[in-house]
Amino acid sequence: MNEEIKGRIEKLKKEKDAVILAHYYVDGEVQEIADYVGDSFFLAKKATEIPASVIIFCGVSFMGESAKILNPQKKVVMADQHADCPMAHMIDVDRIREVRRDHPDAAVVCYVNSTAEIKAESDVCVTSSNALKIVKNLPNKEIFFIPDNNLGRYVAKQIPEKKFIFHDGFCHVHKSIHLGEVLKAREAKPNALVLAHPECTEDVLAEADFIGSTSQIIDFATASDQKEFIICTEMGIFYELQLKNPDKKFYSVGHRQFCPNMKRIRLESVVEALENLGPEVELGEKMRLKAALPLQRMLELAK
């Protein structure tokens, strides 16, 4: 059955001049049929380098929006229209304007896990793989970091010379990884290294041997001489970890490392997206132009 669907996807891709981008959190079988799989920074950047006229996005809305913002001439189609990241909606424009009024010198640093509307109000975007580097190099001494509180605090800890204003956004998946479970996993696997995504809570990050984006976690585990790892991020990452490291062991820390939005994307939805070339990401041109500035600045500063 899957082989038949995979064959259809290959055929449709050629017919429609489409390329499939997928995030590490989607199901392994979807990662398998994608042309490019990566973290949110890689995918945003890759979207600007693709010659095909159609991008099928296997990820959540903000990722597809970023691809469209940076490539207005392309058709960007979501494999599932309803795959959305709740964190992206945890801040509103009024709050940004309020902080700007009270702190006119602060840079509004926007984690890409945000809507196009929020990006349009921000000075620069960051992802978990480049937030540290970009914030460090900004000329501003004051930073309003939105929307993720955990990533913001993680960055702030390493840049004590800057003053941070935080927001209270969070990822429910990473927040549900509890320190107690991490400690239990460590006890059960004493030789394993703990690798965590910076969206995890501060106490979990304090326990981690390595903190990084999904790509950075994969790269670290792949380069490491160690054979066992406790993984504190969404379970979709296990597919690539195991593919690249068949001789290594990866352990989860419970049963809640599951992003229901990423998991909405099925092979069948990819077929439908290819057949219909929809649902397409559509953005008003005025907002798109405003949202493109912080994203382009990110691509520039991350170099």
Q: Which residues bind ligand 13P (CB under 6 A)?
A: 39-40, 113, 127-129, 171, 197, 199, 213-214
Residue 22: which H helix or E strand, with range?
strand 18-23
How far apart CA 98 and CA 100 sit, in angstroms, is 5
Does the footprint of ligand SF4 cover residue 217 (CB under 6 A)? no
65 binds, among ligand SF4, ligand 13P, none (CB under 5 to 8 A by kind): none
Q: Which does 127 bind (CB under 5 to 8 A by kind): ligand 13P, ligand SF4, none?
A: ligand 13P
Direct distance between the N- and C-terminal alpha carbons of the chain, in angstroms, rounded to an integer = 43
Alpha helices in the chain (DSSP H): 2-16, 28-33, 40-47, 61-70, 93-102, 116-119, 131-137, 149-158, 172-175, 179-188, 202-207, 214-223, 237-244, 267-276, 285-301
Binding-residue total with ligand SF4 (CB under 6 A): 14
Among 39, 65, 117, 234, the residue binding ligand SF4 under the rule CB under 6 A is 234
The strand order across the sheet containing 249-251 reads 210-211, 193-196, 228-232, 249-251
User: Could you give the count of Cα atoms lying within 13 Å of 240 in the half-sphere of its Cβ?
Assistant: 28
Among 18, 19, 151, 173, binds ligand SF4 (CB under 6 A): 173
- Answer with the entry of ligand 13P, ligand SF4, none that 254 interacts with (C-beta below 5 to 8 A by kind): none
Residue 125 vs 271, nearer CB to ligand 13P: 125
Instruction: Print the binding letters for residues 95-134 with ligand SF4: x by CB under 6 A, - otherwise.
Output: ------------------x---------------------
Least distance from C-beta 247 to ligand 13P, angstroms? Answer: 24
CB atoms within 10 A of CB 176: 16
In whole angstroms, give the CA distance from residue 26 to residue 239.
9
How far apart are CB 65 and ligand SF4 at their closest, in Å? 13
Binding residues for ligand SF4 (CB under 6 A): 25, 60, 85-87, 113, 171-173, 199, 234, 259, 261-262
